[in-house]
Amino acid sequence: MYLHLYRLACSVKEDVIASMSNCSDPPDKQPSDAVTRAWIGLMRAQRLVLAAIERELKHADLPPLAWYDVLLELARAQGGRLRPFEIEERTLLAQYNLSRLLDRLQREDLIRRESFDADGRGCWVVITEAGRDLQARIWAVYARAIATHVGARLDDERASTLAELLARLGR
C-alpha cells in the first residue's frame, strides 16, 4: 500500500499528463480554482514528502528511491527478472534514466543482465541476492519514513480516500 501511494504521487509524469490532456474537454477550458488548488497542493505535497523520505534514506547511507523501485519490481517478478521495458512501465522511469540506473545497479552487483533472444539483442534484468538484501534494508527506512510523513498526518480512512482520488488521476 505504501509503494502504491508513492507510485500514484509519482505518476504525474509526462505520459500521464499527456493522457490527461487528451480528454474530450475543449483545449481552451480553464481549470477551476478548486482544481488549481488541488494540483498545486498535490505537487507541493509530493515534492515535500519525497524530499523528506530521500533525506532519511541519505541519512541512513542508502541509495535513492529509484533504486528501491527497480529492485522491488524485480524482487516481485516471477524468477526475479524483467525486461527493461517492463521495468520502465512499472516504475515510470524514463528510458534514458533507467538505462543509466541499470548500469549503476549492475556495477554494484545488485542486478545482472542475461541474454533473452537467441540473437543476444534482448536481455533480462535479474536481481541478485545483494539486490534483495539492499531492497529490504531500504524498505526498513522507507516504511518508517512513510509512517512519519504520511501515516502520522492521515488516518487510514483519509489515506484510503486520498489513494482513491489519486487513482482517478492515474487512469
Neighbouring residues of 85: CB distance < 8 A, sequence distance ≥ 6: none
164 class by beta-carbon count within 10 Å (0-12 exposed, 13-18 middle, 19+ buried): exposed
- CATH fold for domain 2-10+33-169: Arc Repressor Mutant, subunit A (1.10.10)
Tell me the C-alpha to C-alpha distance, in Å, between residue 41 and each of 35, 46, 124: 10, 8, 39
For the chain, list residues with pLDDT below 50. 1-6, 8-9, 12-19
Amino acid at 13: K
Residue 131 CA to residue 75 CA, distance in Å, equals 9
Site of grid cell 549503476: 104
What pLDDT does 163 receive? 95
What pLDDT does 98 receive? 95
What pLDDT does 93 receive? 86
What pLDDT does 85 receive? 92
What pLDDT does 121 receive? 74
**Helix-strand-coil split of the chain, %, nearest 5:** 70, 5, 25
Q: In this structure, what DSSP letter does residue 127 have?
A: E
* Domain layout of the chain by residue ranges: 2-10+33-169
Selection from 70, 65, 116, 67 nearest residue 89 by Cα: 70
Is residue 82 within 8 Å of residue 90, measured between CB atoms?
yes
